[in-house]
A and B are shown apart, each in its own frame.
Chain A
């Protein structure tokens, strides 16, 4: 399932996938795969992404 909330949060800070990837310490393809829903990140990577984007885990990764 696509993670549109992550994409929106990234876009709201005007970050490209590459910028977010550099800040988190992963490849651009990994960010792309998370946004597309092709890859489920570990909790450590989720936390790192949340810290960079200033969001909580619930806001970005919780699925109802």
Chain B
């Protein structure tokens, strides 16, 4: 029978501990304000439409991947090509919802979300930096699975960029109205 090393079980235990501590943190934060995001009817509509667009983009990417993805495996591992599709779908959803004012909930402060995204991107880039330093980013001359950190970091920064551009656009529009 296959048995796991003690490091595996330590990892599992640490994972559980991490999840429990996150839940405890949320429970603690929940005391003064509800955690559930509230969206109005127009925002729900926008989010639904964004999800639909993201799904179809992901589907088209998937079909493209079936027929032409193999040709890109000389550059990157296939798992990376698949992961790019998921990130693209997430970006389409986020960008559409942000641009149509449906992404941030009524009881949510957008700058907090942006801060979390920037923080996550920084962690992703730090991990990517370590992997580049170790030389793990490439395997047999192809981009390896370790590049997921770099790709998700870039996706998060792209989402933050959409928030910034949208705010600038909104500001310009409001200035024009005055």
Chain A interface (Cβ < 8 Å from any Cβ of B): 25-27, 29-30, 33, 39, 41-42, 44-45
Interchain CA distance A23-B40 in the complex, whole Å: 13
Contact status A39-B40, CB under 8 Å: no
**B70 smallest CB distance to A (angstroms):** 44
What 0/1 readout, one digit per residue, does chain B (13-53) give for beta carbons within 8 Å of chain A?
00000000000000000000000000011110000000000
Q: How many residues on chain B are close to A (CB under 8 Å)? A: 6
Closest 5 CB pairs of A and B: A26-B40, A29-B101, A30-B42, A39-B42, A30-B40
Can you name the residue of chain A whose Cβ is closest to the Cβ of B101? Answer: A29
Contact status A25-B106, CB under 8 Å: yes
Q: Main SS of the interface on chain A? A: loop
Residues on A with C-beta less than 8 A from B40 are 25-27, 30, 45
Most B Cβ at <10 Å: residue of A27, A41, A42: A27
**B46 smallest CB distance to A (angstroms):** 9
Most A Cβ at <10 Å: residue of B40, B41, B42, B43: B42
Can you name the residue of chain A whose Cβ is closest to the Cβ of B100? Answer: A29
Interchain CA distance A16-B106 in the complex, whole Å: 17
Contact status A27-B41, CB under 8 Å: no
21 A/B residue pairs, CB under 8 Å, sorted by A: A25-B40, A25-B106, A26-B41, A26-B42, A26-B106, A27-B42, A27-B43, A27-B101, A27-B106, A29-B101, A30-B40, A30-B41, A30-B42, A30-B43, A33-B42, A39-B42, A41-B41, A41-B42, A44-B41, A45-B40, A45-B41
